[in-house]
Amino acid sequence: MDTLFDILWSEHLIADIGDGIGLIAIDRVMLHERTGGVALKSLAAAGRTVMAPRQAFAVMDHIVDTLPGRSDRTLMPTGTAFITETRAAARAAGIALFDLGDERQGICHVISPEQAIVLPGATLVCPDSHTGTQGAFGALAWGIGSSEAEHALATGTLRVRKPATMRVTVTGRLADGVGAKDLALHIIALVGSDGAQGHAVEFAGEGVAALDIEQRQTLCNMATEMSAFCAIIAPDEQVFAALEGRPFAPHGAAWDAAVAQWRGLASHPDARFDREVTVDAAEVAPMISWGTSPQQAVPITGAVPSAGEGAAANHRRALDYMAIEEGAALIGLPIDAAFIGSCTNSRLSDLRRAAAVVKGRKVAPGVRAICVPGSGAVKRAAEAEGIAATLVEAGFEWREPGCSMCFFAGGESFGLRERVVSTTNRNFESRQGPETRTHIGSPELVAASAIAGRIVDPRAKGEA
Ligand SMILES: CC(C)[C@H](C(=O)O)[C@@H](O)C(=O)O
Ligand code: SF4
C-alpha cells in the first residue's frame, strides 16, 4: 500500500541509519556554477574524485549574464570566478559540462529533461532549491546543500531524513485561460508557504493528469514555495514520449525495458498519505501575488486581503514594502517592468502563450519587458517558430538562456523599487533588484500586463 514516494525511497534505500534517516543511492547529480563549483572544488581539495563521472553534470545558468554577446565577464562584480572555477573543476572531474557557448546550455531544471538527465524512478539531486521541478517526470528529485553535493559526488549516496507524505489531489480540469502557475499559486495560498514542510508532495487527480508535461514542471517547481521536500507526479506515456531519444536516455532494448518498468510507477490505489489536500480545479482563477511571499496571492479579480489572525506584523510589512493597501484591487496597478523567464515559466509552451497574447500589439510606453528563454533549445525553437520575432516586435528584449532577473544575486536586476510583473517563483524582498516589488503570475498575465502598462486580467482580451 505504498505511495510512489515510498516505492522510490525503498528502491534506493541502501541502509536504515536510524533516527528516521536513510542512506539513499543517488543516480544523478546536477550542478550549477553558483553552488556546484564549490562542491567540485572542495572535493578536489580533499583529494577525492567523483565516483561516477557519467552520472554528474554541470551547467552555467545562475551567474552568467543573459545579454547577447555575453562572455565570462558578468554584471555581478565577483561573478567571473564562479564561472571559470566551475569550468576548471568540471573539466578536471571529467563530468559533462554545459558551458557558455554550448547549444545545450540553459537553466539546470530546464535542460535536465531536455537531455534526459532526469528519468522516471531515478533519484536526482542538485544544490538548488527548485530541483523538485523534475518530479514532473516521476523522479525522486530534491534540492540539497553544497556539502551534500560533495558527498553525493564522492560516494553516490546521501544521508536523508525521510519526509512524511502529502497528496494534493486536483479534481476536475482547469478552465480555459487558467494554467499550472495559477493552480500552484492557488494551492500555496491555501496551504501556506510552509504548508508542505517536511513532506514529499505527490500531485494527483484528473486536473494534474490533464496538464501537459511543461505545465507539470511549473506545478512541481512551485512546490518549493510551500516548503515541500520534493514534488512528484506519477509518470505516464507523455513523460516517456518527452524523454525518448534524448541524449542521456537509455536507447534500444534498454529503453523498452525501462519504459516497461516505469509504467508501473504509481502510488497504490489504497496508499495512505500522512496528509491529504483536495483542490477543485473549477475554483482556480488566474492568480497574482500581492505581497512578498508566494502565499500572498489572490485571484486576479480580487483585492489585497486583510491580515489573518496573528499575522498582522508580517502583513503590514508586506503592504508597506509593496506600496499597496488592504482592500485595493490588483487590476489596474501601474507597472514598470515585465519579466518572462525562470525555471518556472521559460519553456516553449510558456513563451508560445505569451507570444499569442502580445501578437500585433506593443508593450506600453515606459515599461521594460524582457523575455529570457530557459535553454538554448527553447531559444532556437522559439526563434524557428516566430515566437521570438513576435515578442521583439511587441517591444520585448530577447535574451540568452539563464536565470537572469529571476535572481538579483546573479547581477542582472530591475531598478530601485520598480514594480515588476514576473513569471518567476519568488516575490521576496529585493529578489529582482534593489527593493523591487514583484508580482508573480502566469506568462499570459505578465504578457497582457506588459501591453497594458498595468496589471490586467489576461482573460480580458483586447482590454488594454
Ligand atoms: C542560488 C541557488 C542556490 C538558489 C536556490 O537554491 O534556489 C536559486 O536558484 C534561487 O532560486 O534562489
Ligand atoms: S531560474 Fe530562478 S528559481 Fe530557477 S534556479 Fe534560477 S534562480 Fe533559482
The ipTM of this complex is 0.99
Residue 35 alpha carbon, nearest atom of ligand 1: 3
Give the count of alpha carbons within 13 A of 232, CB side only.
33
Q: Which ligand is nearest to the CA of 108?
A: 2
Residue 432 CA to ligand 1 center (angstroms) comes to 13
Ligand 1 pocket residue status of 404, Cβ below 6 Å: no
For residues 401 and 370, the answer to whether their CB atoms sit within 8 Å is: no
Q: Whose CA is nearest to atom 2 of ligand 2?
A: 406
Ligand 1 pocket residue status of 62, Cβ below 6 Å: yes
Q: Whose CA is nearest to atom 4 of ligand 2?
A: 343
Ligand 1 pocket residue status of 408, Cβ below 6 Å: no
For 204, 315, 426, the CA distances from 454, given in Å and listed in that order, are: 35, 23, 20
Q: Whose CA is nearest to atom 9 of ligand 1?
A: 128
Ligand 2 pocket residue status of 343, Cβ below 6 Å: yes
Ligand 2 pocket residue status of 64, Cβ below 6 Å: no
**Mutation to probe ligand 2, out of 32, 424, 428, 438 (largest number of atoms < 8 A from CB):** 424
**Mutation to probe ligand 2, out of 222, 406, 425 (largest number of atoms < 8 A from CB):** 406
Q: What's the confidence (pLDDT) of residue 207?
A: 98
Residue 252 CA to ligand 2 center (angstroms) comes to 34
Ligand 2 pocket residue status of 406, Cβ below 6 Å: yes
For 119, 133, 212, the CA distances from 109, given in Å and listed in that order, are: 13, 7, 17
Residue 402 CA to ligand 1 center (angstroms) comes to 13
Q: Which ligand is nearest to the CA of 129?
A: 1
Q: Whose CA is nearest to atom 1 of ligand 1?
A: 34
Q: What's the confidence (pLDDT) of residue 462?
A: 55
Residue 129 CA to ligand 1 center (angstroms) comes to 6
At 184, list the grid cell.
500552484
For 108, 109, 221, 340, the CA distances from 214, given in Å and listed in that order, are: 15, 11, 11, 15
Q: What's the confidence (pLDDT) of residue 126?
A: 98
Ligand 2 pocket residue status of 128, Cβ below 6 Å: yes
* pLDDT in single tens digits along all 464 residues of the chain: 899 999 999 999 999 999 999 999 999 999 999 999 999 999 999 999 999 999 999 999 999 999 999 999 999 999 999 999 999 999 999 999 999 999 999 999 999 999 999 999 999 999 999 999 999 999 999 999 999 999 999 999 999 999 999 999 999 999 999 999 999 999 999 999 999 999 999 999 999 999 999 999 999 999 999 999 999 999 999 999 999 999 999 999 999 999 999 999 999 999 999 999 999 999 999 999 999 999 999 999 999 999 876 678 889 999 999 999 999 999 999 999 999 999 999 999 999 999 999 999 999 999 999 999 999 999 999 999 999 999 999 999 999 999 999 998 778 999 999 999 999 999 999 999 999 999 999 999 999 999 999 999 999 965 44
Q: What's the confidence (pLDDT) of residue 311?
A: 76
Ligand 1 pocket residue status of 109, Cβ below 6 Å: no
> How far is Cα 297 from Cα 392, in angstroms, rounded to an integer?
30
Tens of pLDDT, residue by residue over 426-456, are 999 999 999 999 999 999 999 999 999 999 9
Distance of CA 332 to the CA centre of its chain: 28
Rounded to the nearest integer, the mean pLDDT of the chain is 97
Q: What are the b/e assignments for 91-112, b being 16+ CB within 10 Å?
A: eebebbbbbbeeebbbbbbbbb
Residue 131 CA to ligand 1 center (angstroms) comes to 10
Ligand 2 pocket residue status of 59, Cβ below 6 Å: no
Residue 422 CA to ligand 1 center (angstroms) comes to 17
Map out the domains of the chain with their CATH numbers: 4-262 (3.30.499.10), 289-452 (3.30.499.10)
Q: Helix 443-452 to helix 348-358 angle, to the nearest 10 degrees?
A: 30
Q: Which ligand is nearest to the CA of 402?
A: 2
Residue 247 CA to ligand 1 center (angstroms) comes to 26
**Which of 267, 316, 263 has the alpha carbon at shortest distance from 292?**
316
Residue 402 CA to ligand 2 center (angstroms) comes to 8
**Mutation to probe ligand 1, out of 59, 130, 146, 229 (largest number of atoms < 8 A from CB):** 130
First to last CA, the chain: 53
Residue 409 CA to ligand 1 center (angstroms) comes to 10
